[in-house]
Amino acid sequence: MARTKTTYDVFSAIGEPKRRALIEKLIVEEMSVNELVNAMQWRQPMVSKHLAVLKDVGIVTERRLGRSRIYQVRPEKLRPIQEWIHQFEKYWGGAMDQLDAYLEDIQRKGDRNDKQ
């Protein structure tokens, strides 16, 4: 079966663990491909392949420094992800805080009633 070219968006781009690892490295400091190859201990084509996807969706941009290209993360591109990353914990964790407070509340009232 012929493979069609995969199209990526920010979400699918970070679905791949190796690309997340690259983002984590580049968030700390900008690096060239060679520096990434050393830091990650991956082969250069692997680094370049994943970098290309991240560049495609705008998470990573490059600038020229002499003869090399330096890559950096554009964190604002990750904001949509950030917004729902904590959806589960924020929403349900928050709801369970409410439940906790509510259960305390009604049981305290119950105790008071018992004593009356």
Residue ranges that bind another protein, judged by CB under 8 A: 9, 11-12, 14-15, 17, 20-21, 23-24, 27-28, 75-76, 78-96, 98-104, 106-107
What is the number of alpha carbons within 13 Å of residue 68 lying toward its C-beta?
9
Q: Which is nearer to another protein, 52 or 75 (CB)?
A: 75
Q: C-beta of 1: minimal distance to another protein in Å?
A: 16
Report yes or no: 78 and 10 within 8 Å, Cβ to Cβ. yes
Closest CB 76 distance from another protein, rounded Å? 6
* Least distance (Å) between residue 68 CB and another protein: 25
User: Based on CB atoms, which residue is closest to another protein, 69 or 79?
Assistant: 79
Are 95 and 88 in contact by the 8 Å Cβ rule? The answer is no
Nearest CB to another protein, comparing residues 34 and 107 = 107
Q: Closest by alpha carbon to 31, among 56, 16, 48?
A: 48
Residue by residue, DSSP assigns 19-69 as: HHHHHHHHHHS-EEHHHHHHHHT--HHHHHHHHHHHHHTTSEEEEEETTEE
CB of 115 to another protein, least distance (A): 17
Nearer to another protein, 24 or 44 (CB): 24
